[in-house]
Amino acid sequence: MAMQPITLTSGMRANLVSLQQTNSFMEVTQKRLATGKKVNSALDDPVAYFTAVAHEQRAADLASRKDEMSEAVQLVKAADTGIESIKTLIAAAKSLATSALSADTTTAASTLASQYDEVLNQIDLMVADSGYKGVNLLKDPDDPGSTLTVKFDETGASNLSLQGFDASAVTGLSLVSSSTSAWVDGGAISTTNIEAAITALDNAMITLRTESSKLANNLSIITARQEFTQGMINVLKDGAANLTNADMNEEGANMLMLQTRQALGTTSLSLASQAAQSVLRLF
Amino acid sequence: MALKLSLKPGERLILGGAVVKNGGSSSCELLIENRVPILREKDILTEEGADSPCRRIYYVIQLMYIDEGNLASYTRLYWNLVHDLVQAAPSTVALIDAINEQILGQRYYQALKLTRKLIAYEEEVLSRVSGGTENL
């Protein structure tokens, strides 16, 4: 049987050539390493040693910053849990007020009013319990314990200030208690006062949603920074660990191998977004 | 304070997501009055041009700068590239650290400037071993 001729498409041939080149590259760099022909090292040992120590220290500094960021995440989560519970309480207060609007007797309305006041009281208790390690983002912003500055680098130059907002029922969320604006007034149910209370509750809900989305935004910033800091710590540790044995010859060879490996496509760069791609293609 | 840029005929630049070209026959001057990502033609590296470990890092930081919306995916790629580089050449760690510091502070332009130093350093390191490979 006649042998079928083997033909390579131009794409395959290009691949083959690049593979052959890789092999030659590697052979050459390995030979250079094996012969150990010493090129003057740009780093003499004491310098490398102290540089390594400095990087390790920096990694340690950053690690403590990262712990602070984790604490800040906990704080934001505590505040967010508080907000969610307050929202539930407000919904409960609203249903009490709505029931009072359609109450048959003034006695029934009065009972609902006192239950409503109790719910407002619970909101304040919830606010007081939403702190984490002495900071409470739901307290009056003038209160010193209501802000936290999260530092992202060891100098603290890069930071994010978490500012609290007052979520207490009357002073913060402007809810109206039935003791200041009575639901039963002059022997009759005061629909005006009850409706005003409902409007205040609706507004409070809007405020809480806004604050909640601010918190979510801050949370994502802190999380992103946390990941970045972890990356920095890893790189500093990697670098420091290898720095003392660094040899410019070896580094050159390693770098060449890395370049070749990347050229073969193990690390793809093709993830630029469509928008960024279309911009860069113009150059 | 506005930033003053001069653009030669036919020269392009990226200005806050737009590619601006001087279509006239003489140089023109632009005043940029707010803070937007600006990248001049000579500083732009294309994907094809990103053919070495440090150039790839430059390319990714460039994407962070002009396309901040997709920062998360670029950051992931950045760490992969940086990790590989520091493994291969630990002496780059000082420069990498300085670049990280700039990225952390969202000063991508400064990060790019430092990365240019990194690319120069890489060329120096590679030149030590390229003697035996340049004929390939």
pLDDT at A155 over 90: no
Higher pLDDT, A32 or A19: A19
Is this complex scored with an ipTM above 0.85? Answer: no
Q: From CA A153, how far away is CA A147, in angstroms rounded?
A: 19
Compute the Cα dihedral for A152, A156, A157, A159 and give only its sign. Answer: positive
Compute the Cα dihedral for A275, A280, B3, B8 and give only its sign. Answer: negative
% residues pLDDT > 70 (chain A): 80
Q: From CA A108, how far away is CA A184, in angstroms rounded?
A: 10
Is residue A114 within 8 Å of A127, Cβ to Cβ?
Answer: no
A151-182 exposure pattern, b = at least 16 Cβ within 10 A, e = fewer: bbbeeeebeeebebbbbbbeebbebbbbeebb
Any CB–CB contact under 8 A between B6 and chain A? no
Each residue's pLDDT, cut to its tens digit, for chain B (136 residues) gives: 788 999 999 999 999 889 999 999 999 999 999 989 999 999 999 888 888 999 999 999 999 999 888 888 898 889 989 999 998 988 898 899 999 989 988 899 999 999 999 999 999 888 877 654 444 4
Q: From CA A124, how far away is CA A13, in angstroms rounded?
A: 75
Q: From CA A48, how far away is CA A243, in angstroms rounded?
A: 6
CA distances from A138 to A71, A134, A209, B78 (A): 17, 12, 13, 37
Any CB–CB contact under 8 A between B88 and chain A? yes
DSSP string, B76-87: HHHHHHHHHHHH
pLDDT at A40: 37
Chain B from 23 to 82: CB within 8 A of any A CB: 41, 44, 46-47, 50-53, 56, 59-60, 63, 66-67, 69-75, 77-82
Is residue A62 within 8 Å of A154, Cβ to Cβ?
Answer: yes
